[in-house]
Chains A and B, each alone.
Chain A
Amino acid sequence: TQLLEQSPQFLSIQEGENLTVYCNSSSVFSSLQWYRQEPGEGPVLLVTVVTGGEVKKLKRLTFQFGDARKDSSLHITAAQPGDTGLYLCAGEGSGSRLTFGEGTQLTVNP
């Protein structure tokens, strides 16, 4: 069974601060997908990383896939209150099923 551990589980920071969310596993994934989920809604795709060592940027968000494709990180620069939400990482295993992490609940205070 593939598992993804996300940390931290909760993060509360002030506007303008930087933060990093980590997603770790002992398993290798074909790809790692990051989502953001609002209460009562479905996960919304942010990015997919595929190649070991790959770095993708989405405005103030930087996503990195580990060289061994077992871990990933999400770094947010100069966080804003609009970044508040639940961030999920999901690893694509064999057969295309996604294994989700527990999520990181981010709160950015004005």
Chain B
Amino acid sequence: EPEVTQTPSHQVTQMGQEVILRCVPISNHLYFYWYRQILGQKVEFLVSFYNNEISEKSEIFDDQFSVERPDGSNFTLKIRSTKLEDSAMYFCASSNIGLAGGPYTQYFGPGTRLTVL
């Protein structure tokens, strides 16, 4: 069964450094997402991406964040200058287009645990 994959599984970085989290969405999906989950808190939406551009972003997704689909398979989240409060699990998700008003059922990857020291 197709699945979303993410690398690395765990990333440790120093405050102020740049990190790139990588995701390979399910191959025939057209919508891509990033969510984060701070330890002990609920999963929060960061950004959605469709047709090579951001379709929606949350208030969390400020100028230090950016997303890119550099080729036909990868989807990346870049955090430019990491802060201590960026420590969290970051989940990539993908969905097929909601045809005829149907749902955008999202499938999640296993996550990248980001630790900022």
Using an 8 Å CB-CB cutoff, how does the interface string of B8-51 with A read, 1 for contact, 0 for none? 00000000000000000000000101010000001111001000
With an 8 A cutoff between CB atoms, is B64 at the interface?
no
| B91 and A42 contacting across the interface, CB-CB below 8 Å | yes
Using an 8 Å CB-CB cutoff, how does the interface string of A74-104 with B read, 1 for contact, 0 for none? 0000000000000010101001111111110
Given A95-B55, A96-B48, A45:B43 Cβ within 8 A: no
User: How long is the Cα–Cα vector from A97 to B44 in the complex, in angstroms?
Assistant: 10
With an 8 A cutoff between CB atoms, is A25 at the interface?
no
Count of chain B residues with Cβ under 8 Å from any Cβ of A?
30
Among candidates A40, A41, A90, A96, residue contacting B43 with C-beta atoms closer than 8 Å: A90
With an 8 A cutoff between CB atoms, is B95 at the interface?
yes
Among B31, B45, B58, B107, find the residue whose CB has the most chain A CB atoms closer than 10 A: B45
Q: Which of B63-101 contact A (CB under 8 A)?
A: 89, 91, 93, 95, 98, 101
Chain B, Cβ-Cβ closest to A1: B59
Residues on B lying within 8 angstroms of A by beta carbon are 4, 6, 31, 33, 35, 42-45, 48, 55-56, 58, 89, 91, 93, 95, 98, 101-111, 113
Residues on A lying within 8 angstroms of B by beta carbon are 30-31, 33, 35, 40-45, 48, 50, 88, 90, 92, 95-103
